[in-house]
Amino acid sequence: MIPKSSCLKEMKITVNIQAQVFKSNLIQGFGIGIFILLLFPALLFANTTQEIQSILQQKKAPIGVVFEVLENEEKDIIWTLQKINQASQKLRQRFPKIGIAVVSHGNELFALTKDKKSAYSKVHSLVEQMNRNNIPIQVCGTAASWKDKTISDFPNYIDVVEAAPEKIEFYEDLGYLLIEVTR
């Protein structure tokens, strides 16, 4: 029989070794994690590009595509809408009757308010063009309300929906494919 004090020492040594291994793995993992986080936006858009290419290679068009935008920065709307517009043009070139919609529910949506029209004039022009091409740009009224914005704070070419996740689900129920676009 092993004395109790010996068991406790062995247990303490084992726990300390496991803690050191965990700590070492955590530090190594942190470095890898930082690398992945830095690479992540490129991977996400690469994934979006792959999804578009996959749709373009299909023989038959899906009912439609809904692009989901959820960003932390207001200015990210510039990049995301440009990429969505480019992808939409390719989709419509291949499948002229495909339905396309954009649903925004991150901080990027605040660039689409009336009071930001001059600061983001190119984006507002792009949104108007996309609307003329039958691509609605919809923003989440719930998210807008978190910064005291209402329907009246958005120009008439922006469709304010009650809740973006429900709108996305609506499109998916119609048969639209969901493509998440993030920077």
Q: List pLDDT tens digits, range 34-52.
A: 443 333 333 334 467 888 9
Domain count, the chain: 2
Residues 46 and 105 in one domain: no
Given 57, 79, 95, the domain boundary residue is 57
Name residue 95's amino acid: F
Task: Provide Rg for the chain, Cα atoms.
Answer: 24
Residue 82's contacts (CB-CB under 8 Å, 6 or more residues apart) are: 126
Low-confidence ranges of the chain (pLDDT < 70): 1-47
Name residue 149's amino acid: K
Given 32, 57, 82, the domain boundary residue is 57
Residues 118 and 174 in one domain: yes
Residues 85 and 129 in one domain: yes
pLDDT for position 172: 97
pLDDT for position 12: 35
pLDDT for position 48: 73
pTM: 0.74
Residue 6's contacts (CB-CB under 8 Å, 6 or more residues apart) are: none
pLDDT for position 36: 37
Which residue, chain included where needed, has tokens 């290679």? Answer: 57
Query: Coil, helix or strand for 68?
Result: strand
Residues 127 and 114 in one domain: yes
Domain that holds residue 110: 61-181
Residues 84 and 166 in one domain: yes
pLDDT for position 47: 66
Token pair, residue 103, equals 């649903």
pLDDT for position 99: 98
